[in-house]
Amino acid sequence: MKTRFAWMMILALLVAPAAKAITPSWSYEAAKITNGSFPIRSACMMPATGKLTRIGMKGAEGMSKESEDWAAALESLVEAHLKTANVEMTPAMSVGTSSASAEEVQQAVLQVAEKYNGIAAQINRKPKEIGKGRYTLGDEVALLPCAAKADVIVFVAAEGQVTTGGKKAMSLLVGGAIPYASLVLTMADAKTGEIVAFARMSNAENFGEKFVAQANDVFGKALDKQFGKLRLGTYQKAHP
Amino acid sequence: MKNRRLAWGVAGCVLALAAVPVQRVCQAQEESREATAFQFTDIDKQVLDEAKTMDEVFQHKGLVMHDADLQAYLDMVGRRVLGSRAAPENVSFQFRVLRDPMVQAFALPNGTVYVTIGLLSLLQNEAQLAGVLAHETSHVYERHGYLENRSVRKKMLTINILQIAASAVPIGPNVGTVVSAFGLALQLGSMASSVALVASVFGYSREMEHEADSDGLIAMTAAHYSPAELAKGFGLLKDDSHLEFEPFTTFYRDHPKLEERQTFAAGYAANHAAEKLDSGDEKGYLAKVAPAICAEIESDLRSRRARTAVARATRLNGIFPENLRYRTLLADAYRALGPKTPLPTDAEKTDHGQSEHRKEYFKMTEQEEAARLLKTPEGQAALKESQDKAEGLYKNVLSDDANFSAALRGLGFLYEDEGRYEEAATEYKTYLSVEAGTSMDHMRMERRLAAVQKLADAAASTGPAKN
């Protein structure tokens, strides 16, 4: 028993740093991105969604406020990386030159989010089908004032789980919930609503309560890698 | 030696397992005492904070509907149900309409009661709404959110402790199964989100829900609303639940519970049959909640719920046939229905049919589902019927008001779907001349016009085949 426990601790210590460093990521894109006929130089950023759960010895607890903070941090992170690639960014809530009120724009954002939620399940099941132009939000996306000048509309959705100290110790002993963070990024043509790009990245590190501060550590490199593959902005030049 | 250690380990597990039912009895007694003399603990205060955050998130994301008349109506019914009862500690009752097409209502432990546009659209009168609000406020009065949270936390801790105890026992042929069983239970428990608020939204324990039903019926009767209407409301929920696939079963859709609740409410109402209590008329109720119903229909159309959109719009149009907006929404709903029938077939209502519907929802896009239906004669017939109805309704609206922009746009979309590009272009041009150049839809419609004009020109240049 003591020997087995010791080996488990050694294995956990060996695996942990490696898990920290790795954020596997995948992306899929439409043919018009692969062949360079649809350059992405400007984007409209939808409000990001994030769901964090804390798993402790007394079960799971939602983290509503922390989820909102995390979503905002990830939205800023993705925006910053896109700006670094010389992609011009506009928030979806921006009224622009339209005569719409802020509340009307907010409702339009909700409507577009609703359309996205309606096909998100299919996209997540078979993201490769993006290459065949299978998925579309319809041209209602053009209701957003920001869509007038944008090439794409960007959706960011994240999910994560953190474990408390007691739960972590318990997981080492008997297995159970593991910490993780995953990010899904989807891009839709701002004129037609066609889904043109999809990227998914996951990390198994227990970033504990530093999910906001460590957002770039966890996802930064994976974002750069996938933006390069998607031929965004200056990434197109750096990764022909 | 080894056998003795194994025996002690098994005995320890058996004792721990035996403690669980004993603990359950003690917990039930404790919960009963707790409800009558509720003292806030630190854990309860965390739940309260979480509830406040949820309120803020709903507002921040624009999910709360802001319509002054609708809000005033909801507040009026809510206040009437509350009567002169004082609010408990840390409770401030507020009633809000949530922009969600799912049929649902819930109350957070801090007293915020949410009713979705989906539920408002289904109910028939004010008394049914009062019954829902009375049920939900009862959960708050009885502190069910906090009690459920405490109960589940204790159970989770028990499961965790049992698992640690089990893991200390050496693996053997009799003990291995127990350990893996505990592991599985822990995995399932760990996947749950915030217990108190999930319970608020999706339903509490059977006993708590029954208590809320009972208290709610008393409260609505005291407010002079007929409890028979709540029983009728449960019937409506049952009949409506097969229209669409829904990703999860909410408390207001759960069938075995609905039947039990309907029977209980009907029994209570029978004891109060002699009293003259208010039901409220359907027309008056619909006039008050019409903004919510319109929002719900539009949401249904975006969420692959065309059948529900047709049902709601038919009802609204039937009561207010002179209203052009409602007639246009009905036309939009028929256009979205396409090759589907307005009501599910008998085969679709069966468990197998529902299961197939669920699979299709996740496997196919809306366009693929329509294409599959159009391969059948029934789908083609349904499409023709839907399109004819939609066209008739749009033209009917435009005969009353030739510049009603929503109908112009809808008719243009319909013509475009049917390949009648020249006619579509005509409707789009009229729409663009009527609507302001800075309207949110202008750019989209300009692009549509350009696209159909190209298609119309191409069709015209190929022309009919010459003999």
For the segment B202-228, what is each residue's pLDDT rounded down to a tens digit? 677 888 888 999 999 999 999 999 999
Distance of alpha carbon A207 from alpha carbon A160, whole angstroms: 10
pLDDT band for position B462 (cuts 50, 70, 90): confident
Is A123 contained in some domain? yes
* Listed residue (B230, B280, B269) closest to B76, CA to CA: B280
**Paired sense of beta strands A49-56 and A152-163, if any:** parallel
Could you say which residues from 41 to 80 on chain A have a Cβ atom under 8 Å away from some Cβ of chain B? Answer: 47, 53, 55, 57-62, 64-65, 68
Give the count of Cβ contacts less than 8 A between chain A and B: 127
B186 contacts in chain A (CB < 8 Å): 174, 176
First vs last C-alpha separation in chain B: 103
Maximum Cα–Cα distance across chain B: 103
First-to-last alpha carbon distance for chain A, in angstroms, is 55
Tell me: the pLDDT tens digits for A84-119?
988 999 999 998 877 889 999 999 999 999 899 888
Chain B hits for A108, Cβ within 8 Å: 440
Per the CB < 8 A criterion, the answer to whether A82 and A154 are in contact is yes
Please check whether residue A11 lies inside any domain of the structure: no
Mean pLDDT of B348-376: 87
Please tell me if residue B333 touches chain A, with a CB cutoff of 8 Å. no
Contact assignment for A60 to B62 by CB distance below 8 Å: no
Residue A61 pairs in a beta bridge with A54
**A207's tokens:** 């970033």
**In this complex, which of B62, B183, B363 lies closest to A175 when CB atoms are compared?**
B183
Inspect the interface and report whether the beta carbons of A114 and B302 lie closer than 8 Å. Answer: yes
CB A140 within 8 A of CB B336: no
Confidence band (pLDDT; 50, 70, 90) for A216? confident
For residue B168, the chain A residues in CB contact (below 8 A) are: 1
Q: Does residue A12 belong to any structural domain of this protein?
A: no
The alpha-carbon gap from A235 to the nearest alpha carbon of chain B, in Å, equals 30
B194/A125 touch (CB, cutoff 8 Å), yes or no: no
Q: Which residues in chain A have their CB less than 8 angstroms from residue B246's CB?
A: none
At B352, list the tokens.
């197998």
Confidence of residue B198 (pLDDT cuts 50, 70, 90): low
Q: Please tell me the predicted confidence (pLDDT) of residue A173.
A: 62
In a domain, A155, yes or no: yes
Domain B292-460 grouped into CATH 1.25.40.10: yes
Q: Which residue, among A194, A69, A82, A212, has the nearest Cα to A138 in the 3D structure?
A: A194
The parent domain of residue A137 ranges over: 23-238
Helix (H) or strand (E) holding A25: strand A25-29
Domain ranges for chain B, please list them: 2-270, 292-460
Of residues B152, B154, B436, nearest to A99 (C-beta): B436
Alpha helices in chain A (DSSP H): 2-21, 31-34, 64-84, 102-125, 165-174, 215-229, 235-238
Residue A181's SS3 state is: strand
* DSSP state letter for A98: S
Q: In B, residues 92-131, which contact A (CB 8 Å cutoff)?
A: 99
Chain A: give the shortest CA distance to residue B196, in Å. Answer: 9
Non-local CB neighbours of B10 within 8 Å, separated by 6+ positions: B169, B174, B175
| Three-state secondary structure call for residue B274 | coil
**Is residue A140 within 8 angstroms of chain B, CB to CB?**
yes
* Partner-chain contact B303 A142, CB within 8 Å: no
- Residue B358 CB coordination number (10 Å): 13
When CB atoms are compared, the residue of A58, A117, A174 closest to B164 is A174
ipTM of this complex prediction, to 2 decimal places = 0.83
Which residue from B135, B148, B139, B147 is spatially nearest to B37, judged by alpha carbons?
Answer: B147
Least confident interval from A42-51, B20-29, B350-359, B372-381: B20-29
Share of chain B above pLDDT 70, in %: 78
- The helix (H) or strand (E) run that includes residue B26 is helix B2-36
Q: Which of B43, B44, B159, B160 to mutate to test the interface with A (most CBs of A within 10 A)?
A: B160
pLDDT at residue B362 is higher than 60: yes
Cβ <8 Å between B366 and A47: no
Q: How many structural domains comprise chain A?
A: 1
Half-sphere exposure of A193 (CA within 13 A, CB side): 18
Question: Is A121 part of the contact surface with chain B (CB cutoff 8 Å)?
Answer: yes
Q: What are phi and psi of B273, to 5 degrees?
A: -65, -30
CB-based contact, B276 to chain A, within 8 Å = no
Q: Which of A125, A170, A177 sits opposite B164 (nearest CB)?
A: A170
Looking up residue A55, the CATH number of its domain turns out to be: 3.30.160
Beta bridge partners of A52: A160
pLDDT of residue B353: 83
The edge-to-edge listing of strands for the beta sheet with B105-107 is B94-98, B112-116, B105-107
